[in-house]
Structures are given as C-alpha cells and as structure tokens.
C-alpha cells in the first residue's frame, strides 16, 4: 500500500499548513510518511504543491503521480490533473471541474463556526475521510495543537475537519484505504535534523543571511538557541556571516553558517581564510538551480564542483552530502568533528528537496553532546600555533589562555606572524596539505544497495532516495543493478573507488547538466567511462523517471 496525496494552491492559502498537518496525522497513525514541497518564489499567488506520500513500508522518495488531489483553487487543480491516476480521486474548493469533485470549503468552514483560514482544516478532514482513517486522529492533533491558543479555536477546527469529512462521504475509504500501523512516530524535516544535530554537537555561534532553501536550518537554530545556548545572529551579508563564523571558531567554539548558491559564492574568500588560518568552520550549503538567482525555490545538485573548489589558493577541505534525513543528522555531527579534527572548513551540502523533505523515523538524540574540539589544554610557553608536524595537524590553542594565539590570512611562520620567507611558505603549504592526506585515512565506505551488481546507479547527496527505489523496481524486473551512494564526496580516494566500480556499467544519476560527481571521480582516476541520467529542471528525480531512463 502506497498512496500519494497532493495539496495544491496558491502561495498564502495554507498549502503548507494542510500538508504539515496531514504529515503529522499519518505519522501519529503509525504509517510511513514522506512529504515534499514544490513552491514558487513569491509570498502570494502562483502555484504551490505539497505531496504527502503514505505507505505501510518505509519509503525514500517522492512520486510524480497522484492518488488523491486536493485543490485549493481551480487553476492550480487544473494544472495538476494530468498527474492524477485513473483510479485516483480529486477534490477541490469550489465548483466541480472535469473529474474533480467540488466542495465549497470556505462555506463549510463558515457553517462550522470557523474562519476562512480554516479551509485548510476542512481539506485535511476531507483527506482523512477519503483515505478511510476518519477524522478522529486529526481531531486529537488539532486539540493538542490549539490548546495553547485557548478559547474555541480547537473546537472550531475540529468541527471544520469533521464537516470536511462529511462533505466527501461518498468517497470515504476509496483511496488506500489506510489502517493504523506501527511506523516510528517522530517526524523530521531535513532542515530540522541538520539544525538539531548542529545544536547537539555543540554549535555555539551561528550567523547567516537568509536564503532559500537554506533558511530552514537557520530558523530551526534560532528557535533552539535558548535551549542549547547558541548565539544566532543574522548577518548583514554572507561575507559577514562567514567571517563572523571564522572569528568564533578562532575563539574556540563550534560555529556554522548556512547559505545557498549566490550566498555561498560570496563566502568563497572566507572559506579560503578558514583554510589559511586552519579554522574549524562548517558551512551548510543548500543547493538550488543557478546560475545567478536561477530558480530560487527549486532543487538541484549544481554546486558540487564549486563547493569542492571553493576558495582561492590550495587548501584541504571536506565536503559531505547526506542522502536522507537520518544521514543528514549523522553527517552534520561528522562535519563538526571533521572540521575540528583537521582544523579545516567543512561544507555540508543538501538541496531544496532534502531540506524541505519530511519523514518519520525513530527519535533522533536531542541531549547536548558536544564534539571534541581538539583544543590543547595547557600549551607550553614555547607554544606556536602553526607548528610543523607529520600529520600537518598543529596543536590548536585558543585566545584567553596562557599563550598568545596569532592567526594571519597572510602566509605565516609557525608562530602565526606574517612572513615573506618563501621557504617558510613552502613548509607551511606542505603542512596544510598533509592534513588532506590524513582526511583520506578516515574510515568511509559508500552506501551500496542492496549488494554489488553488474550495473551501478552512481549517485551522491539527495538522489539517494529516488535511486534506491529505482533499483528496487529494476531488480523486480530482473536487472542485476545496484546503487552506490556517496555521502562523503570530498576528498576522494580514487584507487579504492576504482576497485569498487571496475568492470561494472556505471550510470551517474545527478541533478545537474554536467555530471559533476562522475567528473570528479574521473579526475581522481576512479572512473573511465560512464553513462548519465541527468536532470536540471528544478524538480527532484522520481524512481519511475530513473527506472524509465535506464
């Protein structure tokens, strides 16, 4: 059992409110939920949609086809009709159109004693009825949700939900029908998982300039600031944000900035500063299609080569790109750990698809558990910040202790002061680059699903979910195919990866127009020939699409 519900409407109509509410109810009912959003860059009007996919087994991706379409306007409903399955049902606010049952949601809301804004609750009630679960659990959730607001708000909403259900009584139970299950009941978005993990890992300073689709993480951290003790400051621009974070890291606390394409471009010089000063900074980069302003609210994987090479000069950095929400939580911690262990910038990459995605899972750890910042406790009086070592990692002290800590963006001597001694320059550059070799010694294996096979869908980052489901479909059809997913995309151990890929048909599945990850692997000598399945229309891959193009 696997159904896809799509709520569609204009910006400002509450498409997201309805979708969030449904995601929570289905999760509460113990069903597996995965929700995704598609929206335009505007505050009002246009066409937004919110998909809630519900199943009795774990799901990893979104679908393009729809079983239950809920339209808040006639125009947006008509736009989506082509995606409605033959056996699907459409309901919309207002008069019926071809194949879609119209119910007057605004009138229902008013008759039930609610306000015009409660069409969202009417719509949610209708969905609960059509999927056979009924409005009981929705009512419980509304009661919990609105208890704080007091007055009659909760009861008004409940009456609206029930009336919504009654209005579609003739379709009751026609989709699914769903029955409560035992799926884990904690619902997380990609943004929330990343923000939570940063807070738990001990991030103390967060500074960003708001930019879709990275703002969710920034917002989460602002909300969590008091609980975890984090200074969250909106910077005047991205240049300020990255430099502020560099200052905080120098002073000894884990620090992070969040951004997207154009903002990340502004940060490039600051990332180079972190490379030169050897500062542990974490940059969260949520991708959207470019160039320039591109498609501000859509998804893409176009910034991998840019991220890997971001910053002038040559210095080591790590780039991580988690595949799903749980991995996003785990790798966020790993990003902080790696940044501190190697005193280097780490870029954590996601995209609109993954940051906005919601999925239910077992509860993620939320107790504060700061990472080891690898700070030298009692430096001796002959301490120097950039001591030459075999690993390239110099003991890191922080200001305010017993020794001076001198950090310079110029090339510097071991004690941190600027120099133009060219032999010293070569020694320091070699020292910094040795840290890159050390990074490669970290234990890491790409995710192979379900087991090595003749054909490989090669992917990185958020393409994990659609590729995984595509592999299931193709294997059901008898193909010897697997997915190999990379969540640590830089640095790369070319020799090891070559052994893994050798002798297999490799198809690189990427959300860009120039196969960036395959290009990196080719550069690293890990891959000779490859085929591609590329997508750059601003929408995420679906499993059907990948399977159909293999």
Interacting residues with another protein between 244 and 263 (CB under 8 A): 244-253, 255
CB of 461 to another protein, least distance (A): 29
Interacting residue with another protein among 91, 141, 168, 235 (CB under 8 A):
235
CB neighbour burial string for 46-63, b if at least 16 within 10 angstroms, e if fewer: bbbbbbbbbbbeebbbbb
The residue within the footprint of another protein, chosen from 159, 192, 317, 373 (CB under 8 A), is 373
The distance of closest approach from Cβ of residue 262 to another protein in the complex, given in angstroms and rounded to an integer, is 16
The span from the CA of 490 to the CA of 396, in Å, is 24
**CB closer to another protein out of 28 and 412:** 412
Q: Does 337 bind another protein (CB under 8 A)?
A: no
Q: Which residue of 240, 267, 361, 467 would you call a contact of another protein, by CB under 8 A?
A: 240
Integer Cα distance of 321 and 350 in angstroms? 6
The Cα–Cα gap between 220 and 214 comes to 11
Q: Which is nearer to another protein, 98 or 377 (CB)?
A: 377
CB of 253 to another protein, least distance (A): 4
- 226: contact with another protein by CB under 8 A: yes
CA dist 199 and 347 (Å) reads: 17
Which residues, listed in sequence order, are joined to residue 351 by a DSSP beta bridge?
A: 287
Residues 176-205 interacting with another protein (rule: CB under 8 A): 202, 204-205
Nearer to another protein, 91 or 403 (CB): 403
Closer of 132 and 395 to another protein (Cβ): 395
Span of 123-131, 226-234, 358-366, 492-500 interacting with another protein by CB under 8 A = 226-234
Which residues lie below 8 Å from residue 208, measured CB to CB, with a gap of 6+?
214, 215, 218, 234, 235, 238, 241, 257, 258, 259
Partnered with residue 255 across adjacent β-strands are 205, 281
Question: In angstroms, what is the minimal distance from the CB of 274 to another protein?
Answer: 10
Largest Cα separation within the chain, whole Å, is 83
Query: Residues 217, 191: contact at Cβ < 8 Å?
Result: yes
Pairing state of beta strands 255-259 and 231-234? unpaired
Cβ–Cβ < 8 Å for 183, 27: yes
Taking the alpha carbons of 175, 181, 183, 188 in that order, is the dihedral positive or negative?
positive
Q: CB under 8 Å to 293, separation ≥6 — which residues?
A: 262
Binding mask 499-528 for another protein (x = CB under 8 A): ------------------------------
Q: Print the binding letters for residues 271-290 with another protein: x by CB under 8 A, - otherwise.
A: --x---x-------------
Q: Collapsing DSSP states into helix, strand and coil, what is residue 101?
A: strand
| Smallest separation, CB 366 to another protein (Å) | 17
Minimal distance, residue 90 CB to another protein, in Å:
49
Smaller CB separation from another protein, 4 or 394: 394
Q: How far is the CB of 266 from another protein (least distance, A)?
A: 11
Among 378, 381, 443, 451, interactor with another protein by CB under 8 A: 381
Helix (H, G, I), strand (E, B) or coil at 4: strand
| Cα separation values, 285 from 24, 191, 479, Å | 27, 11, 36
Strand ranges, E, within 343-386: 346-351, 358-361
Rg (CA), the chain: 25
Shortest Cβ 332–another protein spacing (Å): 17
Strands 2-11 and 45-55: antiparallel
- Applying CB under 8 A, which of residues 104, 233, 411, 493 lies at the interface with another protein? 233
Kindly write out the interface string for residues 388-417 of this chain, putting x where it contacts another protein by CB under 8 A and - elsewhere.
Answer: ----------xxxxxxxxxxxxx---xxxx
Tell me whether residue 233 or residue 544 sits nearer to another protein (CB atom). 233
In the complex, least distance from residue 232 CB atom to another protein, rounded to whole angstroms: 8
Separation of alpha carbons 461 and 517, rounded Å: 10
Task: Say if CB 201 and CB 333 are below 8 A apart.
Answer: yes
Q: Output the smallest distance, CB 128 to another protein, in A.
A: 41
Check residue 502 and report its DSSP letter: T
CA distance 147 to 141: 10
How many chain residues touch another protein (CB under 8 A)?
A: 58
Report the residue from 1, 418, 426, 433 that binds another protein according to the rule CB under 8 A.
Answer: 418
Buried b (16+ CB within 10 A) or exposed e, 457-482: bbbbbbbbbbbbbbbbbbeeeeeebb
Nearer to another protein, 409 or 480 (CB): 409
Minimum separation from the CB atom of position 456 to another protein (A): 43
* Binder of another protein out of 385, 396, 431, 435 (CB under 8 A): 385
State phi, psi for 189 to the nearest 5 degrees: -95, 165
Apex 195 CA angle, 189 and 201, nearest 5:
135
Is there binding between residue 82 and another protein (CB under 8 A)? Answer: no
Closest CB 437 distance from another protein, rounded Å: 24
Q: How far apart are CA 370 and CA 380, in angstroms?
A: 26
- Interacting span for another protein (CB under 8 A) from 75-83, 212-220, 236-244, 533-541: 236-244
Interface contacts to another protein, rule CB under 8 A: 202, 204-205, 207, 225-226, 229-231, 233, 235-237, 239-241, 243-253, 255, 269-270, 273, 277, 370, 373, 381-385, 387, 398-410, 414-418
């Amino acid at each position: 059992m696997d159904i896809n519900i799509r709520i569609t409407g204009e910006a400002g109509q509450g498409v997201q409110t309805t979708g969030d509410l449904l995601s929570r109810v289905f999760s509460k009912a113990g069903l597996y939920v995965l929700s995704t959003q598609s929206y335009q860059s505007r505050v009002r009007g246009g066409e937004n949609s919110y998909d809630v996919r519900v199943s009795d087994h774990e799901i990893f991706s979104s679908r393009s086809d729809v079983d239950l379409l809920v339209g808040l306007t006639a125009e947006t409903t008509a736009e989506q009709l082509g995606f409605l399955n033959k056996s699907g049902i459409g309901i919309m606010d207002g008069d019926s159109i071809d194949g879609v049952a119209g119910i007057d949601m605004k009138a229902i809301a008013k008759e039930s004693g609610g306000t015009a804004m409660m069409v969202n609750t009417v719509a949610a009630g209708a969905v609960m009825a059509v999927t056979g679960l009924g409005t009981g659990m929705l009512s419980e959730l509304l009661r919990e949700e609105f208890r704080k607001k007091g007055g009659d708000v909760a009861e008004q909403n409940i009456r609206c939900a029930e009336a919504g259900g009654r209005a579609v009584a003739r379709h009751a139970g026609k989709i699914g029908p769903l029955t409560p299950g035992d799926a884990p009941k904690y619902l997380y978005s990609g943004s929330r998982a990343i923000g939570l993990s940063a807070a738990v890992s001990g991030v103390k300073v967060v500074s960003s300039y708001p930019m879709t689709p990275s703002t969710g993480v920034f917002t989460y951290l602002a909300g969590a600031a008091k609980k975890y003790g984090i200074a969250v400051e909106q910077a005047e621009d991205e240049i300020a944000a990255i430099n502020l974070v560099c200052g905080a890291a120098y002073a000894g606390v884990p620090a992070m900035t969040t951004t997207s394409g154009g903002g990340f471009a502004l940060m490039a010089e600051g990332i180079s500063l972190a490379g030169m000063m050897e500062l542990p900074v974490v940059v969260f980069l949520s991708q959207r299609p470019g160039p320039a302003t591109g498609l501000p609210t859509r998804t893409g994987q176009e910034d991998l080569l840019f991220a890997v090479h971001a910053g002038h000069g040559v210095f080591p950095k790590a780039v991580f790109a988690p595949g799903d929400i749980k991995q996003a939580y785990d790798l966020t911690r790993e990003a902080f750990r790696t940044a501190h262990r190697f005193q280097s910038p780490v870029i954590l990459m996601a995209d609109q698809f993954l940051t906005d995605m919601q999925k239910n899972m077992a509860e993620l750890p939320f107790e504060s558990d700061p990472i080891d910042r690898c700070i030298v406790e009692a430096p001796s009086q002959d301490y120097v910040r950039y001591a030459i070592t075999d690993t390239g990692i110099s003991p890191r002290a922080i200001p305010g202790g017993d020794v001076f800590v001198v950090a310079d963006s110029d090339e510097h001597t071991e004690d941190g002061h600027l120099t133009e001694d060219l032999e010293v320059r070569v020694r320091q550059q070699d020292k910094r680059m040795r840290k890159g070799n050390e990074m490669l010694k970290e234990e890491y294996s790409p995710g192979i699903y379900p087991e090595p096979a003749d054909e490989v869908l090669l992917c990185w980052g958020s393409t994990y979910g659609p590729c995984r489901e595509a592999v299931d479909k193709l294997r059901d059809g008898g193909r010897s195919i697997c997915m190999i997913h990379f969540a640590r995309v830089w640095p790369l151990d070319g020799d090891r990866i070559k052994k893994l890929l050798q002798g297999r048909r490799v198809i690189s599945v990427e959300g860009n127009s120039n196969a960036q990850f395959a290009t990196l692997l080719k550069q690293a000598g890990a891959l000779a020939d490859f085929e591609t399945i590329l997508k750059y229309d601003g929408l995420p891959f679906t499993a059907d699409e990948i399977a159909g193009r293999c």
